[in-house]
Amino acid sequence: MKWYAIFIIIILIGVGFLFVSTEESSDIEPLGRLAFVKIANPDMYPNHVHANLLAQYAEERGSKTAIVLHYAGSSNYRNFMNGNVYIIEMAFMDTAGAQVNIDWGQVLDYGLNGVPDDKWNYKVDGEIYDNFDDAWARVLEMAKEHGQEGPIPVVWHGTVRQGSIFINPGCGFPLYYQVCCKEFGHLGGILHAATGSLFPYFNNPYRAYEIEHAPELQYYYTHNMLNYE
């Protein structure tokens, strides 16, 4: 019973720290993971399913813009208007090359020490940057250009093309962690990563469908069967 009480106290302290650290940031409101798998491809495209969902999150918070974070593929990650919301896309590119499987040693290293500043390049609205600060400054600049006032809702894309959607946090998670560490400090980054992982279970209206049909949707995506004509 004693250890249970201590555990509850630690959780409450962590939640309190998370709330305070979030309140201190004037730039972003970290939400968490947007989706588990692609329902259609592309999904970050005007009026497509997950783009509509992100725009809905922004509108519910009175925000004119929203940010979605990716692991860079072949896309240029162009920004776009979705209804009244300007969606800003940012992706990271590992300088060591594309990583297909989870490197758990790297996960532990980043968790303990944060992401090295020279580890990645970044792509924002089709432009490539060799450091986080310049890329992030451009993201915030574009938000202001589109009338942003107050914190910008931020999600990581979260889709997994193969394997477990529960073990793999999906596309863009490492960049989300880096953004939160930069904004809220190392502990704040860890806490936001943890709470953000729970976000879709309570907020994504397609969660049951995505979870139940994940293997089929992954197969359809990797075999080009989800592409819009």
118-140 pLDDT, tens digit per residue, is 778 999 999 999 999 999 999 99
**pLDDT grade, residue 162 (50/70/90)?**
very high
Cα–Cα distance, 131 to 124 (Å, whole number):
12
Q: How many angstroms separate the CA atoms of 101 and 224, rounded?
A: 21
Length, in residues, of the chain: 229
CA distances, 220 to each of 11, 46, 101, 105 (Å): 40, 21, 20, 31
> In the numeric block, which tokens belong to residue 101?
């499987």
Confidence of residue 1 (pLDDT cuts 50, 70, 90): very low
What DSSP line would sit under 200-219, residue for residue? HHHH-TTHHHHHHTHHHHHH
Tell me which of 98-112, 116-130, 182-196 is least confident.
98-112
- Compute the distance between CA of residue 207 and CA of residue 169 in angstroms, rounded to an integer: 14
Confidence check: pLDDT of 100 > 70? no
Half-sphere exposure (CA, 13 Å, Cβ side) for 13?
A: 7
Q: Provide mean pLDDT across the span 208-219.
A: 96
Residue 163, helix vs strand vs coil: coil
Residue pLDDT, tens place only, 76-91: 899 999 999 999 999 9
- Residue with the larger pLDDT of the pair 4 and 77: 77
Q: What is the 3-state secondary structure (H, E, C) of 68-88?
A: EEEECCCCCCCCEEECCEEEE
Nearest to 182 by CA among 49, 15, 21: 21
pLDDT of residue 94: 79
Q: Which of 9-18, 36-45, 156-165 has the lowest mean pLDDT?
A: 9-18
pLDDT surpassing 90 at residue 99: no
Query: Could you state, in order of their start, the residue ranges of all structural domains in the chain?
Result: 26-222
Cα separation, 66 vs 146, whole angstroms? 11
Q: What is the largest CA-CA distance in the chain?
A: 60
Instruction: Evaluate if residue 2 carries a pLDDT over 70.
Output: no
Q: pLDDT tens, 50-85?
A: 999 999 999 999 999 999 999 988 788 999 999 999
What is the C-alpha to C-alpha distance for residues 218 and 221, in angstroms, rounded to an integer? 5
What pLDDT is attached to residue 109?
A: 64
Tell me the helices (H) and strands (E) count for the chain, helix number first: 7, 7
| Averaged pLDDT of the chain | 86
The string over 193-227, giving b where at least 16 C-beta atoms fall within 10 Å of a residue's C-beta and e elsewhere, is: bebbbebbeebbebeeebeebbeebbebbeeeebe
